[in-house]
C-alpha cells in the first residue's frame, strides 16, 4: 500500500511538473491602429505612460526590427492574417466601404489564421476593427472566427452619437454627424448592438470577458483583438484627457489619452489571464498595423522618432512598428531580438506553437516560425530579405541584413545602411552601386511573382516597367 501511494505521489508530481509548453497554448494577437513607433514606454516614449504594455514587453521579447508587410491598415491586416505578402492575391489598397462590393475584401481563396486554428481544434474569436471587406461574404464569422464583436469598417467613432471629423478632399476636413463608416453599427456576430460607453474601453471589456469565459474550456482559444485606437477620429474619455492636461497641443493630448486607454484595456485583459491561471500558457503578439500618420491623411499627432517617414511610406516610419512576442512557458523574458522579422511570421509561429497541421493552401507562406529564433535555438536570421510594394508598384523597398534599398513614386533609388543610419538620412546608392543593383534586382524578381491590385486606385498594368525596376537592377 505504501509503495502504491509512493508511485501515485510520483505520478502526480511528474504531471504537475510537466512543462507548460506541452499544453497547446492559447494565442492572443493584439493590434493597435496607427500607433507611433516612439509612443509607448518600451520603445522609449516618455510622455505617455504605458505600464501594462511595458510589463508585457518585459515578460517576453521585443523585436527591435519588427515590420509589417504594408504601411496602410487593410493590406497590412490581409498580410498577417494569411502569412503571405498580400500582393500575391491582389490586396494592395484599402477596400471601399460598400456592403455590395464583392471584390473589395480578403479573397475567399485565402486561408486565414483563424481558419487554420479552428481546424486544429481552437475556439476562435475576433474583437474590434475588421476592415477586410464589408460584403457579407467577408464577415469574420465566415473567415474562421466562431465569435465576433466589433465593426466591419476601417474606422469608427469612439463616443456614441458624437460628431466625427472626416476627409472631404484636397486636404480639407469637415465635422459630420452621419459618416456611414465611422457610425456603422457595432455587431455581435451578425446582430447589431447599441453603442454604450467609449469604444476602446468596451473592446477591452469584451476581450476580458472572452478570456474569462473560455478559461475552463477543454480546448485552447485564439483571440484577435484589433483596436482602432489611436486611429482618427481624435476622441477620448474625459478622465483620460484630464490625465494629460499638461500637454499643450490638443491633438497630442487626445492622442495620449487614446493610447493610455489602449494600455488600460490591455492591462485589464492581462489581469484576467492572471486571475484565471492562463498567462503561462498564452502566446501573445502585440504590433501596430503600420507606423503613425504624423502629417498625412488621418494624422493623429503620433511620433515615429527616430525613424524617417510615417504611415503610407516605405521608409522605416511607415513599416517598422512596436513588435512583441510573449510566451512565458517557452520564450525567455526581458530580451530583445534584433534580426528583421515581419508580421507575416505571426501565422506560422502560432501554427507551430499550436502543433497545427498546415492546410494545403498554406504551402506558400512568406512568414516563418519565429520560435527557434526567439528561443535562440537557431542563431541565423529568419529572413534573407524582406520586401515591400505599395500602390501597385509606385513604391518598393527591400531589406537585406542592414541594407535597405527603396524607390518611391518615380524618385531615384536610394540605399541606406540601417546599422549606422536608422533615420535614413545618408543615401549610399551612388557610393555602393553594386549593393543597390543587387537589391533592385531582387525586388524585380520578387515583383514578378506578384499580381496587379484586384481593387483600388491603380489604373495601370506593367508594374515593373512603370517603376523602372528592371533598369534599376541592370549591372
Is 73 a known active-site residue?
A: yes
- Proportion of the chain above pLDDT 70, given as a percent: 87
Distance CA 369, CA 95 (A): 29
Q: What is the pLDDT of residue 470?
A: 58
Q: What is the pLDDT of residue 174?
A: 60
Q: What is the pLDDT of residue 456?
A: 84
Distance CA 454, CA 86 (A): 11
Average pLDDT, the chain: 90
Higher pLDDT, 6 or 203: 203
Residue of 336, 456, 311 lying closest to 43 (CA atoms): 336
Residues whose CB falls within 8 Å of the CB of residue 49, separated by 6 or more in sequence, listed in order:
41, 260, 263
- Number of C-alpha atoms within 13 angstroms, CB side, residue 247? 18
Q: What is the pLDDT of residue 357?
A: 75
> Is the CB of residue 343 less than 8 Å from the CB of residue 29?
no
Mean pLDDT computed over 71-92: 97
Q: What is the pLDDT of residue 473?
A: 57
Look at residue 148 and give its three-state secondary structure.
Answer: strand
Mean pLDDT computed over 241-247: 98
Q: What is the pLDDT of residue 16?
A: 35
> Is the CB of residue 68 less than 8 Å from the CB of residue 76?
yes
- Can you point out the beta strands (E) in 60-201? 61-63, 66-67, 123-129, 147-151, 164-169, 172-176, 186-188, 191-193
Look at residue 379 and give its three-state secondary structure.
Answer: coil
Q: What is the pLDDT of residue 137?
A: 98
Q: What is the pLDDT of residue 179?
A: 80
pLDDT of 2 higher than 80: no
Is 131 a known active-site residue?
A: yes
Distance CA 387, CA 380 (A): 19
Q: What is the pLDDT of residue 474?
A: 42
Q: Which of 52, 104, 131, 231 is catalytic?
A: 131
Mean pLDDT computed over 311-322: 98
- Proportion of the chain above pLDDT 90, given as a percent: 84
In order of their start, the domains of the chain are 22-374 (3.40.720.10), 386-472 (3.30.1120.10)
pLDDT tens digits along 191-218: 999 999 999 999 999 999 999 999 999 9
Q: What is the pLDDT of residue 462?
A: 36
Q: Which of 63, 73, 214, 231 is catalytic?
A: 73
Model confidence at 409, pLDDT cuts 50, 70, 90, reads: confident
Mean pLDDT computed over 8-34: 64
Q: What is the pLDDT of residue 273?
A: 98
Model confidence at 17, pLDDT cuts 50, 70, 90, reads: very low
Q: What is the pLDDT of residue 364?
A: 87
pLDDT tens digits along 150-186: 999 999 999 998 877 666 555 566 655 558 999 999 9
pLDDT of 384 higher than 80: yes
Bridge partners (DSSP) of residue 416 are 404
Q: What is the pLDDT of residue 304?
A: 98
Q: What is the pLDDT of residue 114?
A: 98
Q: What is the pLDDT of residue 4?
A: 36
Mean pLDDT computed over 238-266: 98
Amino acid at each position: 500500500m505504501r509503495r502504491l501511494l509512493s508511485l501515485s505521489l510520483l505520478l502526480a508530481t511528474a504531471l504537475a511538473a510537466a512543462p507548460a509548453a506541452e499544453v497547446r497554448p492559447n494565442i492572443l494577437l493584439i493590434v493597435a491602429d496607427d500607433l507611433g513607433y516612439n509612443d509607448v514606454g518600451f520603445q522609449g516614449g516618455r510622455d505617455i505612460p504605458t505600464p501594462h504594455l511595458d510589463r508585457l514587453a518585459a515578460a517576453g521579447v521585443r523585436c527591435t526590427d519588427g515590420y509589417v508587410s504594408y504601411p496602410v491598415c487593410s493590406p497590412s491586416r490581409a498580410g498577417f492574417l494569411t502569412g503571405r505578402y498580400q500582393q500575391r492575391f491582389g490586396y494592395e489598397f484599402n477596400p471601399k466601404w460598400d456592403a455590395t462590393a464583392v471584390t473589395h475584401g480578403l479573397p475567399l481563396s485565402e486561408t486565414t489564421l483563424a481558419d487554420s486554428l479552428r481546424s486544429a481544434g481552437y475556439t476562435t474569436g475576433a474583437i474590434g476593427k475588421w476592415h477586410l471587406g464589408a460584403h457579407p461574404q467577408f464577415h469574420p464569422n465566415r473567415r474562421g472566427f466562431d465569435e465576433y464583436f466589433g465593426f466591419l469598417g476601417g474606422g469608427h467613432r469612439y463616443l456614441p452619437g458624437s460628431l466625427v471629423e472626416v476627409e472631404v478632399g484636397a486636404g480639407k476636413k469637415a465635422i459630420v454627424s452621419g459618416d456611414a463608416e465611422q457610425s456603422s453599427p457595432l455587431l455581435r456576430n451578425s446582430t447589431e448592438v447599441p453603442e454604450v460607453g467609449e469604444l476602446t474601453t468596451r473592446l477591452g471589456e469584451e476581450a476580458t470577458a472572452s478570456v474569462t469565459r473560455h478559461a475552463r474550456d477543454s480546448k485552447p482559444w485564439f483571440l484577435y483583438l484589433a483596436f482602432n485606437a489611436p486611429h482618427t477620429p481624435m476622441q477620448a474619455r474625459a478622465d483620460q484627457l484630464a490625465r494629460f492636461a499638461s500637454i499643450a497641443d490638443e491633438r497630442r493630448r487626445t492622442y495620449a489619452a487614446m493610447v493610455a486607454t489602449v494600455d488600460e484595456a490591455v492591462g485589464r485583459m492581462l489581469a484576467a489571464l492572471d486571475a484565471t491561471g492562463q498567462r503561462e500558457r498564452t502566446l501573445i503578439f502585440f504590433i501596430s498595423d503600420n507606423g503613425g500618420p504624423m502629417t498625412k491623411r488621418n494624422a493623429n499627432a503620433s511620433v515615429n522618432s527616430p525613424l524617417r517617414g510615417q504611415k503610407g511610406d516605405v521608409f522605416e516610419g511607415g513599416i517598422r512598428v512596436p513588435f512583441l512576442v510573449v510566451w512565458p512557458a517557452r520564450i525567455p523574458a526581458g530580451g530583445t531580438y534584433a534580426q528583421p522579422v515581419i508580421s507575416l511570421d505571426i501565422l506560422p509561429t502560432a501554427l507551430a506553437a499550436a502543433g497545427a497541421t498546415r492546410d494545403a493552401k498554406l504551402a506558400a507562406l512568406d512568414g516563418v516560425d519565429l520560435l527557434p529564433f526567439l528561443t535562440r535555438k537557431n542563431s541565423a536570421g529568419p529572413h534573407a530579405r524582406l520586401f515591400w510594394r505599395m500602390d501597385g508598384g509606385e513604391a518598393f523597398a527591400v531589406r537585406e541584413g542592414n541594407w535597405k534599398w527603396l524607390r518611391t513614386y518615380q524618385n531615384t533609388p536610394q540605399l541606406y545602411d540601417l546599422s549606422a543610419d536608422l533615420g535614413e538620412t545618408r543615401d549610399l546608392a551612388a557610393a555602393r552601386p553594386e549593393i543597390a543593383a543587387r537589391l533592385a534586382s531582387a525586388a524585380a524578381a520578387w515583383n514578378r511573382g506578384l499580381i496587379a491590385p484586384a481593387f483600388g486606385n491603380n489604373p495601370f498594368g506593367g508594374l515593373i516597367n512603370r517603376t523602372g525596376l528592371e533598369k534599376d537592377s541592370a549591372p
